[in-house]
Structure 1
Amino acid sequence: MRVVVAPDSFKGSLTAAAACAAMETGVLRAVPGAEVARVPMADGGEGTLDCIGAATGGAEIRLDVGGPLGDPVTARYLLAADASSAVVELAAASGLPLVDPARLDPLRADTEGTGRLIADAIRRGARSVLVCVGGSASTDGGTGLLRALGVRFLDAAGAELPPGGGSLAGLARVDFTRVPAEVRATRFDIACDVTNPLIGPQGAAAVFGPQKGAGPADVRRLERGLVRLADVLADQLGIAVHHLPGAGAAGGTCGGMLAVLDATAQPGCELVARSVGLPDAMTGADLVLTGEGRLDRQSADGKVVSHVARLAAERGIPVVALAGQVVPPLTTLYDLGLTAAFSIADGPRTLEAMTGSAAGLLAHAAEQTLRLRTG
């Protein structure tokens, strides 16, 4: 029997690689002779760097940069062996977990640290950069990232705007004259984990701002800033990113990169699946196991479980999702090809207890799934 295990991380408890190991343990308990293919997955957000690095190799570069509020952080990115390409994970330098919840500042937080990682990769020779967006602490439209690459955001008096999305409503002009030739010669790809537009009721400020500490007044201010940024970029560059799907990813970072860097955005799951060889791994498989921390209707919107289910269904392979919490209805996931979904919980537990026992619980759930398949 051949089983493919291709989960996302279980945030706060298991990396995708650790989840794979736990699933494999359970599979082999039920079917000792099974062939298990481990394929850790991610959706373009946190954890994507590790998945791609494990599959493709390369050097992990560590760099001291400014975090979302300017505090020093040591972040990392992946540089290919020949230094021609790099993978940068926004969450490593500009992620929400880097900010103490008591210090959240949604108006000032920015993405400059991520831009410093990109600039370092380009300095080392990279001319193809994949930026994995998701999990940001900011709603700055990517202006911090772009500022680190030489772009200037100016007010009516010609002064540079302060960092963060809170100042963008005062944007009068964008200056590209200091962007180095090396940056202009670089190809930028973006792995997106959401499809939200830049502005509007489903945009970056309205949907994700509150998760970053923005109150109603902050959300309105951030929305005005993103609208102004999109208007100015459309006027100067002729590229309107206001309502492009995915432009709202990472607080609008995707939108800013699409307009200024002529970047190409791709669904993160599809990009990661190709990079780690998931389609090939499914060849000849009898069963696919996937999973994530919480499975609900949002899991159908570009997340790992939905993409794995679709790939498996296209090949006629049953696919089962295991999750810390399963919240129905899952109709859309079933329509995409998911066969069944089970919670790994073994009874009433606190979140802390679940987190501490996640590997054992996941292994047990995988074992029971395989016993059902082979019984």
Structure 2
Amino acid sequence: MKLLFASDSFKGTITSAESALMLEKAAREIFGESNVECTSIPVADGGEGTTDAVISACNGKKILVGVHGPLMESVEAYYGDLGTDETGKKSAIMEMAVASGLPMVPAEKRNPLNTTTFGTGELLRDALDKGFSNISIAIGGSATNDGGMGCMRALGVRFLDKDGNELLGCGSDLEKLVEIDTTGLDSRVKNATFTVMCDVTNPLCGKDGATYTFGKQKGATPEIQNRLEKGMQNYRDVIIKKFGINPDEIAGSGAAGGLGAALLVFLNAKLKSGIETVLDLTNFDERLKGVDLVVTGEGRTDWQSCFGKVVQGVGDRCKRAGVPAVALVGSMGEGAEKIFDHGICSMLPTVVDTITLEEALAHSKEAYYAGALRLFKFIKTGMGISR
């Protein structure tokens, strides 16, 4: 029996690679050492850990880069070298969270008026310097609400105030913007392909936009949100005047505090589901060939899992290929059963008792392995019934 394991990380407890090792150990214990062939693919949905998952799955290389963090502090970030693709282009995978992510800002300093995506632009520039022209970037987990101005400034775009002075590109500069000068935009972006890995469809402005949807979690008070929203509307209007493009009409432009808008407008990037991009980069469909069963999973499955999460993405691919898939998850919440519409045949939670979250996290590995044993015992029983 050929098994393929493709689980998301269980945030803060079990990595994708660790889950695969425990699944293989449990499968061999239940079915016998010589009766199973196990392979695995680390996967992620475009959020935290995406770069590491794709580097691992594709045998890529990590490239370290010194950049500026969200408060312009010096930090070490990285992205992945995935080699050359079928068109002959050098491919790279990166995530903005390692350069401009919320966890990088201490809680007492979180204020999106002061944060910038400049470091993310430095990552992109370094990739261009090294000859990469097929670049995928995950934009979840930002600390920023600068409309992506900082990122574009690192690539040569100048954002000017009413006196012609260049703005630094942080959230507070949105309201000061009068003119955008793109004459210095790095010319290499014209020959590069950019894929934005993102699952939110929020516009740039409005009640569902970048500021009012995500600003609070980045430290914005209601007063700061109102100020940022006015600034973002000004930024939008300047973009409309300059390019004839309304970012509010582009789904996903509000992602990562408006970084989505900058990547889509200035770099002509294409927006794509995070999990779909990861599955494509790792040749998931090809790896499904000859597989008898896929085991996937995530920390918690609920109704949100059907909107671009790992279990849904893996399940849909398996369904199309006619390969049965099951999920071993940390816990199940409201609407978890909706995942059965996406190719997942059955699902088991690893938590089987009424315990606190702290207890569940502390014993996550033991619970996961015990759950894997139960899962494969069920499967073995089903195989016996079918015979």
**TM-score computed with the length of structure 1 as normaliser:** 0.93
Q: 2:351 aligns with which of 339, 345, 350?
A: 345
Q: Which has the higher contact order (CA 8 A, sep 6+)?
A: 1
For the 8 Å contact 1:106–1:139, the answer to whether it is kept is: yes
- Change in Cα spacing, 1:161 to 1:129, as seen in structure 2 (3 Å) is same
Distance 1:371 1:67 in 2: 48
Deviation digits for residues 15-45 of structure 1, max 9, x if unmatched?
Answer: 2222222232333332232222211111122
**What is the 5 A alignment of 1:1-375?**
1-32=1-32, 33-81=35-83, 84-375=90-381
Distance 1:309 1:200 in 2: 34
For the 8 Å contact 2:42–2:57, the answer to whether it is kept is: no
Q: Deviation above 4 Å: which 4+ runs of structure 1?
A: 80-83
Distance 1:342 1:90 in 2: 33
For the 8 Å contact 1:26–1:365, the answer to whether it is kept is: no
**Among the aligned pairs, what percent are the same residue?**
38
Q: CA deviation at 1:80?
A: 4.4
Counterpart of 1:174, as a letter, is I
For the 8 Å contact 1:306–1:333, the answer to whether it is kept is: yes
Judge which range, 21-30 or 64-73, deviates more: 21-30
Larger radius of gyration: 2
For the 8 Å contact 2:150–2:168, the answer to whether it is kept is: no
Counterpart of 2:347, as a letter, is A
Counterpart of 1:11, as a letter, is K
Q: CA deviation at 1:69?
A: 1.4
Q: CA deviation at 1:331?
A: 4.6
SS state of the match for residue 6, structure 1? strand
Judge which range, 113-122 or 288-297, deviates more: 288-297
For the 8 Å contact 2:42–2:54, the answer to whether it is kept is: no
**RMSD of equivalent CA atoms:** 2.0
- Change in Cα spacing, 1:159 to 1:190, as seen in structure 2 (3 Å) is same
5+ long unaligned stretches in structure 2: 382-387
Q: CA deviation at 1:120?
A: 1.2
Distance 1:270 1:206 in 2: 27
Q: CA deviation at 1:371?
A: 0.8
Distance 2:351 2:287 in 1: 29
- Change in Cα spacing, 1:122 to 1:361, as seen in structure 2 (3 Å) is same
Counterpart of 1:146, as a letter, is M
Deviation digits for residues 176-219 of structure 1, max 9, x if unmatched?
Answer: 12223223433222111323332333322222222222222222
Report the number of matched residues.
375
Partner residue in 1 for 2:384:
none
For the 8 Å contact 1:77–1:89, the answer to whether it is kept is: yes
- Change in Cα spacing, 1:344 to 1:222, as seen in structure 2 (3 Å) is farther
Distance 1:105 1:73 in 2: 19
